[in-house]
Homo-oligomer: A and B are copies of this chain.
Amino acid sequence: MTAQRLKGVIESILFVCGESVSVDSLATALDVTLIQIEQALYLLETEYAQEGRGLHLKRFANQVQIASKADYAQEVEQVLQPAQHMTLSQSALETLVIIAYRQPVTRQEIEAVRGVKCDYSIQSLMQKDLIRESGRKETLGRPILYGTTERFLSHFGLKSLEDLPVISKPDTPPEPAE
């Protein structure tokens, strides 16, 4: 058996096996020397280290096993568990805008601007990790204050909230109806 063929055969065996195989059993079954096996494994390991390969040769004790390359775990995960796509409703988007520009802000204050109840939008934005509770307002009832999250910044590619585009605000924001 040529060194090349031996390398191919070993790859074949390790692939089908899935689990680890002892170097000795490879040498015995294929009727070659341990040195030949070691040489083939060395070649295989070197090849696997290249960028264009997605496999990795695991060596431990006298055992050898093929595994996937750790560097590509993220991409593997993208295929096995693709990100769920979702869109924001117009009302959630409006609520998010108010929170982004006025944070920290209470639900009542948001509702005063939008003129409608915002419980559902707030809940939905919380679920999507775009906003979070940032404290309590020290007024009657100590209402929850909302602010944006890190994910909000990263989603829009913003370094900080100061990078939010400046929009001319309406002159007089209405007071919340409390």
Copies in the complex: 2
B12–A69 CB distance below 8 A: yes
User: In the complex the two chains form, what is the Cα distance from A55 to B47 in whole Å?
Assistant: 14
User: In the complex the two chains form, what is the Cα distance from A9 to B76 in whole Å?
Assistant: 7
A51–B16 CB distance below 8 A: no
Chain A residues numbered 1-27 whose CB sits less than 8 Å from any CB in chain B: 2, 4-5, 7-17, 21, 25-26
Tally of chain A residues near chain B (CB < 8 A):
37
Interface majority SS on A: helix, strand, loop or mixed?
Answer: helix
Could you jot down 6 A-B contacts, CB within 8 Å? A5-B51, A8-B51, A10-B54, A12-B75, A13-B76, A21-B79
Chain A residues close to B by CB (< 8 Å): 2, 4-5, 7-17, 21, 25-26, 28-30, 43, 50-55, 66, 68-69, 72, 75-76, 78-80, 82
